[in-house]
Amino acid sequence: MLRSFLAAAGLALLALLATAAAAQTQQPAFDLVVRAPDPLRQLLENNLELRRYREVSDLDDSEVARLIVLGEKDARELLATQGYFSPDVRITRESGPPIRLVVTVQPGPRTQVQAVDIAFEGDIATSTDAGAIAQREGIRSRWLLPSGLPFTAGGWDRAKAEATKQLLVRRYPAGRISYSLADVDAQAQSARLGLKLDSGKLFHLGPLRVIGMQRYDPVLVPRLARLQEGAVYDQEQLVQAQLRLSGSGYFDSAFIFVDPEGDPDAAPVQVSVREARLQKVVLGVGFTTDGGPRATVEHIDNRLPVIGWRAVTKLQVERKNPFAQTEWTGLPDERGWRWSTLARIERLDDERLITNSERLRGGRFQNTDHIDRNMYLEYERSTVQNPRNVVLTPLETGQGTALSVNYIWTGRYFDDLQVPTTGYGVGMEVGGGVTLGSVHQPFERTLLRWITFRPLPQGRLQLRAEAGAVLARDDAPVPATQLFRTGGDTTVRGYSFLDIGVRLPGGLVGPGRYMTVASVEWQRPIIRNAQPTQFEHTLFIDSGAVADRIGALRQQVGIGTGMRWRSPVGPVEGAIAYGVQAHKLRLHFTAGFVF
């Protein structure tokens, strides 16, 4: 036993000595020290070839001398990529052990761009079409390395790549760089840049060739994609068509490709799709500060028997706003119009009144690149419960039944529909109908919405406004679903859900016939390492008012601040707001952008 223990101890000691010897042999052959202004010091420390030779343990003096010569050349080449073409570079050797190689750099003056010449050949050079002229001038005006800026190799490559991208995205998918030259005068510290872009021929879209269609009607792809044969090639239109296909619910994925080697006069458009299942169930959970926790169950039938329509049935379980809804939509026609029908049962509990409503709707809608239109006939009924047993009339609570004809128009002109930073949106709802039941009275309803984003030197302003009116006789029992209330996460922050309305006896809040909402919000990106991050800080002022008469409108104001994450699927925001009239602080969470 003792002999075995001593043998094991000896082996362990030998292993320890071997490890120490290996560690001794792995010591670097020399230390590398770089003395240069930031960020050039970091550039040289990370990229000098000398770093690779530190692990070579048997370097003699002649080899070290050769490395010093090569290191100076390497350092000059690295500095030239940043626009320093006449630097003072010295590498000295200091005795060790280990020896030290000290790289000392005085970069000298930086080369600047003196002149830029961007020329064109092919169709874009000779075309008198307004689109070609605008594209040509846009490439020149958005050039990333104009006169007066420091010249760098990276900047030169990025500028060429961006100019080529602007050529390829519209009209000319076969475009290329036919000539480029950066003429650098190291003594004068100046650079003259030359670039020639060959657009090739103008491309027009040819016929659609669809791959992957088996379950659904073949007319779906061309009617959803809306790519007209003979239209001028536009990559953005192809992307939007691809998004329409993948977002339609009929396809799990869609990919559109135009071969730049094809016939420019009628380039075939290849559409590859992967069809979604006929039946699908989607489960969801969520939380909002307006309604609290929620759970949803959604059943999708992409092809109903006989009629072939698409049916989406949804059940939402939530304390304040549970509902059950089914919506059926037909296939789009050649102009994109679709028939639809909807049935919905809803319960709305604002902790004062409980409004139960039923809706039946039928009509047509059309969604285009920027404009949505919807026209429909709707039957609706609202019954209101009063848990506090305050004596109220149906006119005060919005209890009633109505039949109405409605038209909704929405225009969206944003740079990004999910996370907009510039642009604007306008919405209009116009409807008219008659109340049913014991009293038959006509009414008219109008709602206008507007939002815009205005760039600032730091961030942007978001301006938002909304105004609504219901015109009817005082004794017309208009249903609560046609009237107005506001307040909460997405309207007037600092107030609870639907807290702004017509004040009723017993501290209750009822719906009103007139509404105004306005908001000003400053959205400022949070900067880190001199670069904007995906997080933003917000400051805002919201206001809203609801009344049965225009003269009775009294604005209720909320002010606050928050943080927003610009996530890939839309903005996610948390905010804290103070309701000036409510005298309360409230926390608000929202996700996504909807207009």
Task: Note the pLDDT tens digit of each residue in 35-89.
Answer: 888 888 888 888 888 877 777 766 777 777 888 888 888 888 888 888 888 888 8
Task: Note the pLDDT tens digit of each residue in 326-340.
Answer: 999 999 999 999 999
To which CATH superfamily is domain 205-275 assigned? Answer: membrane protein fhac (3.10.20.310)
The DSSP symbol for 11 reads H
Task: Note the pLDDT tens digit of each residue in 290-333.
Answer: 888 999 999 999 999 999 999 999 999 999 899 999 999 999 99
Residue 27's pLDDT band, with cuts at 50, 70 and 90, is low
Q: What is the predicted pLDDT for the residue at 85?
A: 83
Q: Is the pLDDT of residue 393 over 80?
A: yes
Averaged confidence pLDDT in the chain = 90
Q: What is the predicted pLDDT for the residue at 333?
A: 93
> SS3 of 161, please?
helix
Task: Note the pLDDT tens digit of each residue in 512-569.
Answer: 999 999 999 999 999 987 788 999 999 999 999 999 999 999 999 999 999 999 988 7
Q: What is the predicted pLDDT for the residue at 26?
A: 54
Backbone angles phi, psi at 175, to 5 degrees: -65, 160
Q: What is the predicted pLDDT for the residue at 375?
A: 98
Q: What is the predicted pLDDT for the residue at 225?
A: 94
In sequence order, what are the beta bridge partners of 447?
429, 468
Residue 4's pLDDT band, with cuts at 50, 70 and 90, is very low
Return the closest-CA partner of residue 579 out of 558, 565, 553, 562: 558
Percent of the chain with pLDDT over 70: 94
What is the arithmetic mean of pLDDT over 189-203? 94
CA distance 281 to 297: 7
What is the arithmetic mean of pLDDT over 498-505? 93
| DSSP secondary structure, 181-211, as one string | EEEEETTTTEEEEEEEEE--SPPBEEEEEEE
User: Which part of the chain has CATH 3.10.20.310?
Assistant: 29-106, 112-198, 205-275
Q: Is the pLDDT of residue 10 over 50?
A: no
Q: What is the predicted pLDDT for the residue at 268?
A: 93
Q: Is the pLDDT of residue 29 over 50?
A: yes
Task: Note the pLDDT tens digit of each residue in 238-294.
Answer: 999 999 999 999 999 999 999 888 899 999 999 999 999 999 999 999 888 888 899
Contact between 505 and 392 under an 8 Å Cβ cutoff? The reply is yes
What is the arithmetic mean of pLDDT over 425-432? 98
In sequence order, what are the beta bridge partners of 475?
none
CATH of 29-106, one of 3.10.20.310, 3.30.460.80, 3.40.50.970, 3.30.1490.20: 3.10.20.310
CATH number of 332-591: 2.40.160.50
Token readout for 571 is 């903005």
Helices 61-80 & 40-47, crossing angle to 10 degrees? 130
Return the closest-CA partner of residue 72 out of 94, 92, 97: 92
Long-range own/partner contacts, residues 306-314 (CB < 8 A, 24 or more apart): 308/217, 309/339, 310/249, 310/250, 312/249
Q: What is the predicted pLDDT for the residue at 23?
A: 42
CA distance 345 to 238: 39
User: Tokens 């840049």 label which residue?
Assistant: 193
Task: Note the pLDDT tens digit of each residue in 343-367.
Answer: 999 999 988 889 999 999 999 999 9
User: Which part of the chain has CATH 2.40.160.50?
Assistant: 332-591
Q: Is the pLDDT of residue 11 over 50?
A: no
Q: Is the pLDDT of residue 18 over 80?
A: no
**Cis peptide leading into 98, omega within 30 of 0?**
yes
CA distance 195 to 121: 11
| DSSP secondary structure, 27-88, as one string | S-SEEEEEE--TTHHHHHHHH-GGGGGGG-TT--HHHHHHHHHHHHHHHHHHHHTTT--S-E
The CATH topology of domain 112-198 is Ubiquitin-like (UB roll) (3.10.20)
**Residue 190, number of CB atoms within 10 A of its CB:** 16
What's this model's pTM, rounded to 2 decimal places? 0.77
Task: Note the pLDDT tens digit of each residue in 97-135.
Answer: 778 888 888 888 888 999 999 999 999 999 999 999 999
Token readout for 232 is 């001028």
User: Which of 17-21, 41-45, 176-180, 385-389 is least confident?
Assistant: 17-21
Token readout for 142 is 């958005």
Q: What is the predicted pLDDT for the residue at 135?
A: 95
